[in-house]
């Protein structure tokens, strides 16, 4: 990894121990970002920041943010860049003393990536989970979420031990409104429109890692951990 290797060359023998895990997970909706973010958060003891979770929580609480984003999120649109950027920068400020973070669902547009770059000057490691559309649709249509703790499951690939009940907290599982067929299609159109620019942006910076997402959860996780350690 470019910057870390520089530190190593300068003779900073503790660079690996002192490094911050500032991770960004990119990928289509349903590519497994949330699933992997939870595992990375657990392994590296870093907070998981999901913009989607922040919006869903606001909608549940019906707070001021909910008024601005409810319709957009439920219909599969993109929340305006200025709103998302402000939220993410605030979250990152709060986590400035942690060992890093894993950001899931942001940036989704070039504008978001550029705004983050202007305000957050620390090194980022960007991990892109690559998955073809056919698989993404299967994943999203079978996804179920715990109403209580937000943990994600899949009816076929990652099902709970007891039907419709969360393994971790016994909460009831539900299907996200934006995981219905028409909304999935709309979300994928937005994703396809922007992802190329976001990937090019990080590719130019030399901190982009591409990981194959069409493998079992544990294998994708191993690939991500390997990419981080390189
Ligand atoms: P994202 O956060 O990118 O939208 P999720 O992590 O919620 O995606 O995963 C989408 C769905 O696919 C969930 O139902 C999850 O359980 C399932 N899933 C995640 N990773 C895999 C995988 N590697 N193989 C099969 N199913 C997976
Ligand atoms: P996710 O949980 O990542 O699938 O996000 C759910 C929804 O929240 C998206 O379909 C968008 O409506 C909204 N959202 C989440 N992150 C962003 C973002 N970075 N930019 C714009 N909208 C977002």
> Which atom of ligand 2 is least distant from the CA of 77?
12
Told to judge if 139 belongs to the known catalytic residues of this protein, a careful annotator would answer no
Buried (b) or exposed (e) across 55-80, using 16+ Cβ within 10 A? bbebbeeeeebbeebeeebbebebbe
Dist. CA 107–CA 124, nearest whole Å: 12
For residue 123, the Cα-to-chain-centroid distance in whole angstroms is: 17
Task: Yes or no: say if 151 and 145 are a contact pair by the CB < 8 Å rule.
Answer: yes
Q: How confident is the model at residue 16 (pLDDT cuts 50, 70, 90)?
A: low
- Is the overall model pTM greater than 0.75, yes or no? yes
How much is the average pLDDT of 57-72? 95
Dist. CA 197–CA 201, nearest whole Å: 6
Q: What is the pLDDT of residues 50-63, one digit of tens each?
A: 999 999 999 999 99
The Cα-based distances of 72 to 129, 146, 152, 197, 200 in angstroms read 25, 22, 22, 22, 26
Dist. CA 2–CA 6, nearest whole Å: 7
| Three-class secondary structure assignment of 27-91 | ECCCCCHHHHHHHHHHHHCCCEEEHHHHHHHHHHHCCHHHHHHHHHHHCCCCCCHHHHHHHHHHH
Q: How far is the CA of 69 from the centre of ligand 2 (A)?
A: 10
Among residues 39, 56, 143, 144, the one annotated as catalytic is 143
> Which atom of ligand 2 is least distant from the CA of 29?
4
Q: What is the pLDDT of residues 22-33, one digit of tens each?
A: 999 999 999 999
Dist. CA 86–CA 116, nearest whole Å: 10
Relative to beta strand 143-146, strand 100-104 is unpaired
**Ligand in closest contact with the CA of 85:** 2
Q: What pLDDT sits at residue 1?
A: 43
Told to judge if 33 belongs to the known catalytic residues of this protein, a careful annotator would answer yes
How much is the average pLDDT of 114-136? 96
> Which atom of ligand 1 is least distant from the CA of 144?
14
Q: Which helix (H) or strand (E) holds 102?
A: strand 100-104
């Amino acid at each position: 990894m470019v910057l870390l290797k520089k530190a190593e060359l300068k003779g900073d023998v503790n660079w690996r121990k002192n490094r911050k895990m500032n991770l960004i997970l990119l990928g289509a909706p349903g590519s497994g970002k949330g699933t992997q973010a939870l595992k990375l958060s657990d392994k590296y003891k870093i907070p998981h920041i999901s913009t989607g979770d922040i919006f869903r929580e606001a909608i549940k609480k019906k707070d001021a943010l909910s008024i601005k984003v409810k319709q957009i999120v439920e219909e599969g649109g993109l929340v305006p860049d200025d709103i998302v950027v402000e939220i993410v920068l605030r979250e990152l400020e709060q986590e400035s003393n942690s060992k890093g973070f894993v950001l899931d669902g942001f940036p989704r547009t070039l504008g978001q990536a550029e705004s983050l770059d202007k305000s957050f000057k620390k090194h980022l490691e960007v991990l892109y989970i690559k998955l073809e559309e056919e698989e993404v649709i299967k994943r999203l249509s079978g996804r179920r979420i715990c109403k209580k703790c937000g943990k994600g499951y899949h009816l076929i690939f990652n099902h709970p031990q007891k039907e419709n009940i969360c393994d971790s907290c016994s909460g009831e599982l539900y299907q996200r409104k934006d995981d219905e067929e028409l909304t999935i299609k709309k979300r994928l159109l937005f994703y396809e429109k922007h992802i190329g620019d976001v990937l090019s942006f990080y590719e130019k910076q030399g901190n982009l890692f591409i990981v194959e997402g069409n493998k079992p959860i544990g294998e994708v996780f191993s690939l991500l951990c390997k990419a981080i350690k390189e």
